[in-house]
Amino acid sequence: MLSASLTLDPAFKVAPVSRRTFGTFVEHLGRCVYTGIYEPGHPTADEDGFRRDVLELTRELGVTTARYPGGNFVSGYRWEDGVGPRDRRPRRLDLAWHSTETNEFGLDEFVAWTRKAGVEPMMAVNLGTRGIAEALDLLEYCNIEAGTQLSDLRVAGGAKEPHGIRMWCLGNEMDGPWQIGHKTAHEYGRLAAETARAMRMIDPGLELVACGSSGSSMPTFGAWEATVLEETYDVVDFISCHAYYEEHDGDLASFLASSMDMDHFVDSVVATADSVGARLKSRKKLNISFDEWNVWYLSRFQNAEPPQDWPVAPPLLEDHYHLADAVTFGGLLISLLRHSDRVTSACLAQLVNVIAPIMTEPGGRAWKQTTFHPFAQASRYAVGQVLRVESDSPTHETARFGEVAALDAVATHDEETGATTLFAVNRSVDQPLTLTVDLRALGPVRLAEATVLSGPDPYVRNTADASDTVAPRANADVRLDAGTLEITLPAVSWNVIRLIRP
Ligand code: AHR
């Protein structure tokens, strides 16, 4: 049995929890849109063709923002195709995913869906095949009230109120050779800066995201951020990070420690951004929009044949997550929260069917993958200030990350209600961990709930027929006495411990 300890103190503040940490991503990819969020004719479809079962699960998941329409898709997308009368919308080849886009669902439908889901829309502009003019057109269409050609087009289409979109991504993964219109850092930096400047002429209050690296293992990582930010520093608010993790060659111990890579990634991008800021003698600090993150078995996708014959909404990237995926995913959430002083926006990629916490059957059921639970719990209970936890944990060796702590944890504390929540992962593949938590600085508290996501088989999955196999259960192995909490965290587990004022 391993043992670890930590101290919770409301004085150890990192930053307020940003609600935008719990964003997600809806791309025109596979079945995310069609038969995912949108399926007219489905038994639960509403008057707009939105699946009510998916809307309900989206609300339960606690999603706060939704990035749209891509992803790789956006770099070949003409937003005008998806507005106006449906019978006049063109069918187009989607080169990114080798599919056919019918454009039956477009911008106004997406914004209407976000209103129903209660989430903030976040838009990406195409800087792959398009540029400044089209970005300005899109902004005019979305955010100008009326009285111009494009705002009147929106009104004529039925969207009377402006969409009022605040957060805009300046392209997607422009460092990736797979991206349509892939650019060098200098080419992209110049285009992003000029696009940002022009967009700010319409609305100086927009929040703009420059593309960072598509992963920390990209050969241009670091240099890309430095060059792009040299050009864009004054005109953007965020630099993006994207990261996906998977278990390689049965190495579960390294996989469970994936948040070490995310920590390093964020720290490196913050350091790079701050060094550019220092060189430019700027007092401004850029934040990170971690606008794609998840567990994704990318190697399986890369080894598969692309779809043939340009199908409409084929099943793509439908990873089926197990318990260990959900525990690793919980570690990634901990990393994002731990960096809340600089990571103030994040998007789980993606929402439905495509590497997603929610799965659907066309015409049938919607159900929760294992990863649904850590996200829903973090979104619900991470409230108030993020607290640094001072922990002392045993360590073990991993092939990818060297020595790692068995315990990974972060906490939040709501000064108003006194509620404190500890999120903790036991990364050990085979040993339970006894955790002793010093709570004295919190004053009098009682245990509201301790839940655990664990099981004898780390590779067990949920299915449509058994969607509750992996779900949080009460952890009875917990004691609270005289300002000290003691709890056992099973091997390969995600844990949520909630304390409230008595
Ligand atoms: O989320 C799937 C894809 O991953 C996105 O389209 C792209 O931006 C990234 O490479």
Q: Which pLDDT tens digit goes with each residue over 79-135?
A: 999 999 999 999 999 999 999 999 999 999 999 999 999 999 999 999 999 999 999
Distance CA 302, CA 252 (A): 21
SS3 at position 394: coil
Residue 215 in tokens: 């992963």
Can you tell me which residue has the tokens 């909630």? 498
Long-range contact pairs involving 160-165 (C-beta distance under 8 Å, separation at least 24): 163/107, 163/108, 163/111, 163/121, 165/111, 165/121, 165/122, 165/123
**Residues 371, 486 within the same domain:** no
Going 439 to 260 to 425 to 384, the CA torsion angle's sign is positive
**Contact at 8 Å (CB) between 317 and 301?**
yes
Distance CA 323, CA 295 (A): 12
Give per-residue pLDDT as tens, 159-170: 999 999 999 999
- Give, for 302, the enclosing helix (H) or strand (E): helix 298-303
Reported as half-sphere exposure (CB side, CA atoms, 13 A), residue 94 has a value of 29
- Compute CA distances 305 → 70, 72, 98, 452, whole Å: 21, 18, 10, 39
Q: How remote is the CA of residue 279 from the centroid of ligand 1, in Å?
A: 32
**Contact at 8 Å (CB) between 447 and 502?**
no
Going 186 to 190 to 196 to 199, the CA torsion angle's sign is negative
DSSP assignment, residue 310?
A: -
**Contact at 8 Å (CB) between 353 and 359?**
yes
DSSP assignment, residue 348?
A: E
Question: What per-residue confidence (pLDDT) applies to 233?
Answer: 98
**Contact at 8 Å (CB) between 116 and 55?**
yes
Question: What per-residue confidence (pLDDT) applies to 301?
Answer: 85
Residues contacting residue 302 through CB under 8 Å, at least 6 positions apart: none
Question: What per-residue confidence (pLDDT) applies to 308?
Answer: 87
**Residues 200, 174 within the same domain:** yes
- Which protein residue has the closest C-alpha to ligand 1 atom 3? 71
- Which protein residue has the closest C-alpha to ligand 1 atom 8? 71
**Residues 120, 6 within the same domain:** no
Amino acid at 394: P
Question: What per-residue confidence (pLDDT) applies to 165?
Answer: 98
- The total of other beta-carbon atoms located within 10 Å of residue 502's CB is 8
β-bridge partners, 487? 435, 478
- Give, for 451, the enclosing helix (H) or strand (E): strand 446-453
Residues carrying an active site annotation:
173, 292
- Which protein residue has the closest C-alpha to ligand 1 atom 4? 71
Question: What per-residue confidence (pLDDT) applies to 303?
Answer: 85
Q: What is the model's pTM?
A: 0.97
**Residues 459, 404 within the same domain:** yes
Can you tell me which residue has the tokens 């705002």? 151
Can you tell me which residue has the tokens 């199908």? 311
Q: Could you tell me which of 48, 43, 64 has the C-alpha nearest to residue 117?
A: 64
**Residue stretches of the chain with pLDDT short of 50:** none
SS3 at position 124: strand
Number of H helices, E strands in the chain: 11, 26
- Which protein residue has the closest C-alpha to ligand 1 atom 6? 71
Amino acid at 444: P
Distance CA 66, CA 293 (A): 13
Residues contacting residue 226 through CB under 8 Å, at least 6 positions apart: 185, 272, 275, 276
Provide the pairing of β-strand 167-170 with 207-210.
parallel
**Residues 253, 402 within the same domain:** no
Domain boundary among 330, 365, 381: 381
Distance CA 156, CA 373 (A): 41
> Which ligand 1 atom is the nearest neighbour of the CA of 25?
1
Can you tell me which residue has the tokens 């960072």? 212
Q: Could you tell me which of 45, 39, 119 has the C-alpha nearest to residue 348?
A: 119
Domain boundary among 328, 346, 381: 381
Give per-residue pLDDT as tens, 348-386: 999 999 999 999 999 999 999 999 999 999 999 999 999
**Contact at 8 Å (CB) between 346 and 20?**
yes
**Residues 418, 352 within the same domain:** no
The CATH number covering residue 482 comes to 2.60.40.1180
- Which protein residue has the closest C-alpha to ligand 1 atom 5? 71
Q: How remote is the CA of residue 243 from the centroid of ligand 1, in Å?
A: 10
Distance CA 155, CA 86 (A): 15
Pocket of ligand 1 (CB under 6 A): 27, 70-72, 172-173, 214, 292, 349-350
Amino acid at 80: E
Question: What per-residue confidence (pLDDT) applies to 48?
Answer: 98
Q: How remote is the CA of residue 480 from the centroid of ligand 1, in Å?
A: 44
Q: What is the domain count for the chain?
A: 2
Q: How remote is the CA of residue 403 from the centroid of ligand 1, in Å?
A: 30
- The total of other beta-carbon atoms located within 10 Å of residue 90's CB is 11
The CATH number covering residue 258 comes to 3.20.20.80
**Residues 108, 123 within the same domain:** yes
**Residues 233, 207 within the same domain:** yes
Distance CA 318, CA 303 (A): 14
Percent of the chain topping pLDDT 70: 100
Residue to mutate, 32, 73, 95, 172, ligand 1, most ligand atoms under 8 Å from C-beta: 172
Find the domain containing 439 and state its range: 2-10+386-500
Domain boundary among 363, 381, 399: 381
Q: Could you tell me which of 267, 147, 253 has the C-alpha nearest to residue 216?
A: 267
- Compute CA distances 66 → 87, 309, 319, 385, whole Å: 27, 30, 20, 23
Distance CA 143, CA 166 (A): 9
**Residues 54, 67 within the same domain:** yes
**Residues 177, 296 within the same domain:** yes
**Residues 47, 28 within the same domain:** yes
**Residues 329, 457 within the same domain:** no
